[in-house]
Amino acid sequence: MGSPKGLGMVVFDAASSIGLFLDIFLSIYGLTILVYILLSWFRLPYAFQPVQRFLYDVCEPYLALFRRLLPFLRFGAFDLSPIVALLALTVARQLVVGLLD
C-alpha cells in the first residue's frame, strides 16, 4: 500500500495536470476567438468557408453570451463585446490556473 505522502503527490500531480490542461485549453480558445474575429473582417474564398463555419460554431456561443449581457458594447458596425470576452477569458484563465497551482 502507498503511504499518505504518496497519495498527496498523486493529488498534487492531478491538480497540476488539470491546471496545465486548462491553461493550454483556455489559451488556445482565446487564440481561436482572435482568429475568428480577424477572419470576420474579410470575405474568404469558398474553399475556406468550412474553416470559417467551424470557428463560428466554436466561438459564437461564448461571444453571444457577452453580446446578450452587455448590449451597450455595440456601436453600429462596431462590436466591442469580443474584447470583453477575451478579457474575461484571460481573467478566468489566471484565476483557475492560480487556484490550482
pLDDT tens for 66-85 read: 999 888 888 888 888 899 99
pLDDT at site 4: 55
Mean pLDDT of the chain: 84
- The CA distances from residue 78 to 9, 37, 41, 91, 92, in Å, are 50, 12, 11, 23, 25
pLDDT tens for 43-64 read: 878 888 898 899 999 999 999 9
Grid coordinates representing 3 are 503511504
pLDDT tens for 3-17 read: 555 555 555 677 788
**Domain boundaries of the chain, sorted by first residue:** 4-100
pLDDT at site 57: 95
